[in-house]
Structure 1
Amino acid sequence: MNKVAIVLSGLGLSALLAGAAQAQSEPRVTGLQLSGDEPIQIESDRLEVRDAEGIAIFTGNVNVVQGPTLLKSGKMTVYYATDGTAEPSAAGPDASRIERLEVDENVYVKTETQVATADKASFDMKTEVLVMTGKEVVLSDDGNVLVGCKLTVQMATGHALLDGCGQSEGAKGRVKMLLQPKSQSQ
């Protein structure tokens, strides 16, 4: 199957991932490094644009690259503003019109030093809230690891909340953290 390649300039992926940078402030771990002014390249096996509904759906081996940041998933849905005057575009939405992103099916985000994984992720551009959910949401940075089932990040304030999986799963439902001691030579 042929891949679809789209390049967007602007805010799309940066907004989704910038929230994860703030999530690392509680506890203190270096945040995801992003380049908001760099173009975003999206590749997938298929792209469906429903311009009248303001939706673009990328499916099958979705790869999103912005600078050193990589996002992979099985599906990414982009919700964008429609004002009735915009001409339909087979290339998908303009990055400046994006309202919300929803990413499903084995979400994987990698930067130069960090990796975040979840079953699903969503980012609301208006409220600047990033939510990553799944059986196990994992954030790792230089050997430090945070594990839970729901990560909610308020990008504007940098406040992050990592929830466990609930009481019914016993010890597996708790938030876990592994901090690596730094080398004495550093």
Structure 2
Amino acid sequence: MTVRFLLMSALFAALATEAPAQGTQVGFGVADYDSSKPVEVTSDQLDVRQSDGRAVFTGNVVIGQGQMRMTGDKVDVTYGTNAAGSNEIRSLHATGGVTLVNGGEAAEAAEALYTLETGVVVLTGDVVLTQGENAMAGQKLTVNLGTGTGMMEGRVRVVFNSETVAEPGQ
């Protein structure tokens, strides 16, 4: 056995179990987030509430911005006026079977709050993150689209699927 094999075995043994509640850092998507890209929302129904600066999309909601896609049963969009006097989206709160896809990663949760100004998406409720054949689960995943990083919290469980590589001469 080589040192590399022993180190990899120890790493997988440590990470393939449940992690403490303080959280686990993860990579997520691509780090070329651009908040100036247009946000496109499609749904079966739209209810605009001008009096409180909200729009509620329901039924098969799909949100796209650059490479990021978020889906859910219902998305409550909060908007306001920017410094130039134009309306702009402040946040999107998705509920019901939420999926967030960015690059090669995908996360599922009960709900998600995407704050456009900060580029942060917070997913909560039985979160499952898949990265290729690897999976991670917890109760809260905070994703920074700008840096392409995330933090999983709440009784984190990680499962790594790796190919077994035979060492030369074995």
Q: Give the TM-score normalised by the residue count of structure 2.
A: 0.66
AA aligned to 2:58 is: T
Alignment of 1:151 with 2:148, yes or no, is: no
| Equivalent position amino acid for 1:46 in 2 | Q
Aligned runs of 1:1-186 on 2, under 5 Å? 26-27=25-26, 29=27, 31-33=28-30, 36=34, 38-82=37-81, 94=87, 97-126=88-117, 128-134=119-125, 136-153=126-143, 160-164=150-154, 174-181=155-162, 184=165
> How far 1:120 moved relative to its partner?
0.4
1:107 aligned partner, one-letter code: V
Of all paired residues, the percent bearing the same amino acid is: 31
The residue aligned with 1:168 is none
SS state of the match for residue 129, structure 2? strand
Q: Which has the higher contact order (CA 8 A, sep 6+)?
A: 2
Q: 1:25-55: CA deviations, max 9, x gaps?
A: 924x4x2136636543321011111123111
Q: Contact 1:54–1:82 at 8 Å: present in 2 too?
A: no
Residue identity matched to 2:92: L
The unaligned stretches of length 5 or more in structure 2 are 1-23
Report the number of matched residues: 140
The alignment's TM-score, normalised by the length of structure 1, stands at 0.61
Change (3 A) 1:43 1:133: same
Q: Name structure 1 gaps, 5 residues minimum.
A: 1-24, 88-93, 165-173
Flag the structure with larger Rg: 2
Letter in 2 for 1:180: N
Select the structure that is richer in strand.
Answer: 2
